[in-house]
Amino acid sequence: MVSNSNKTASLKQRSGNAYAVEAVNRAADILFVFSHTDSELSLPEIVSRAGLPKTTTFRVLSTLCDRGLCMQDSVSGKYSLGFELLHLADIRRRQANIHGLAMPLLRVIRDQVEETVVLSIRTGDYRVHIDFAEGLHPMRRMVELGRSSPLYAGAASKVLFAGLSDFEIDDYLRRTLLEKICSQTITEKEALQQEIESIRKQGFAESRSELFTGGASLAAPVKDYSGATVAVIDIITPEVRFTQEHRDRCMNSLLNGVSELSQQLGYRERNIAS
């Protein structure tokens, strides 16, 4: 299986908010040190990765454990994320009816093309996976729910980026360093702006090895009644399987799927998309 593992895309950065509560920031720093590969960590490991004093880390961990956000193994003494986080994540995922409407369509697209199909939304300057239908091939692209990716890299991210206003795009490009994540990542601002214009005109985006080496993706926007892009659906596949014939089949299924979902959200073609 091809895993979506890219540390650059998953870094959580503090916002610099003048009203931020430092104790909450420290708790978040600790929660973010855990990952799929490091799901259990000792106190010294957490101290090292969070960059916090040992006493502070222990006190915050104790509070997180009391609230069910972390848990400690009674034998090894190691810490892991608590199950209360699953409850909170489920609440967030169900807040918008888009999730409930999208999942049956994701499965239909998946069954038609046998590839992993992902539903994502924009959160600030990032794209975040909120659900997916896993592909049927033995070798398939995998997805981590809640994983964040920058808006400038990858087909799905660029679809959400293209849905922003020109002012928002210019503001993003002024404050964002376009780093080279993979061999095909676009790092020139003019080239990225041209790509965004192309996505707006054609109604979809395509990428190969922009965010994950050896990965290919097709993505299209989900629009609401106002014509605003509220989510994106993308089909992700190993690049070796992304032949022209397979691409065309994926494209047909994808565009039919996002069209149906957008109509369910009240979108009509006469609306002017943002």
* Average pLDDT estimate for 244-265: 94
- CA 119/CA 140 separation, integer angstroms: 16
* Average pLDDT estimate for 26-31: 94
**2 pLDDT above the threshold of 50:** no
Identity of the highest mean pLDDT range in 1-5, 34-38, 87-91, 177-181: 177-181
Residue 197's pLDDT is what?
Answer: 96
- CA 151/CA 123 separation, integer angstroms: 10
Mean pLDDT, the chain, integer: 87
Indicate the pairing of strand 229-238 with strand 215-223.
antiparallel
Q: Ramachandran region of residue 169, left (φ > 0), alpha (ψ -120 to 50) or beta?
A: alpha
Residue 16's pLDDT is what?
Answer: 65
Instruction: Name the percent of the chain lying above pLDDT 90.
Output: 65
Per-residue pLDDT of 140-156, as tens digits, reads: 666 667 778 899 999 99
Indicate the pairing of strand 126-133 with strand 116-123.
antiparallel
Q: Which of 240, 45, 41, 249 is nearest to 141 (CA)?
A: 240
Per-residue pLDDT of 77-128, as tens digits, reads: 999 999 888 877 766 655 557 888 899 999 999 999 999 999 999 988 999 9
* Average pLDDT estimate for 241-257: 95
Residue 273's pLDDT is what?
Answer: 41
Per-residue pLDDT of 192-210, as tens digits, reads: 999 999 999 999 999 999 8
Residue 140's pLDDT is what?
Answer: 65
pLDDT band at 169 (very low <50, low <70, confident <90, very high): very high
Across the strands, what pairs with 82? none
**1 pLDDT above the threshold of 50:** no
Residue 212's pLDDT is what?
Answer: 83
Please tell me the class of the 96-264 domain.
alpha beta
Domain ranges of the chain: 7-84, 96-264
Q: Which of 32, 38, 37, 41 is nearest to 11 (CA)?
A: 32
Instruction: Name the percent of the chain lying above pLDDT 70.
Output: 87
Tokens of 89: 């994540």
DSSP annotation of 41:
B
Same fold: 7-84 with 96-264: no
Residue 96's pLDDT is what?
Answer: 54
Per-residue pLDDT of 35-75, as tens digits, reads: 878 899 999 999 999 999 999 999 999 999 999 999 999 99
**15 pLDDT above the threshold of 70:** no
**33 pLDDT above the threshold of 60:** yes
pLDDT band at 137 (very low <50, low <70, confident <90, very high): confident
**253 pLDDT above the threshold of 60:** yes
- CATH number of this structure's domain 7-84: 1.10.10.10
What single-letter amino acid sits at 86?
Answer: L
pLDDT band at 274 (very low <50, low <70, confident <90, very high): very low
pLDDT band at 12 (very low <50, low <70, confident <90, very high): low
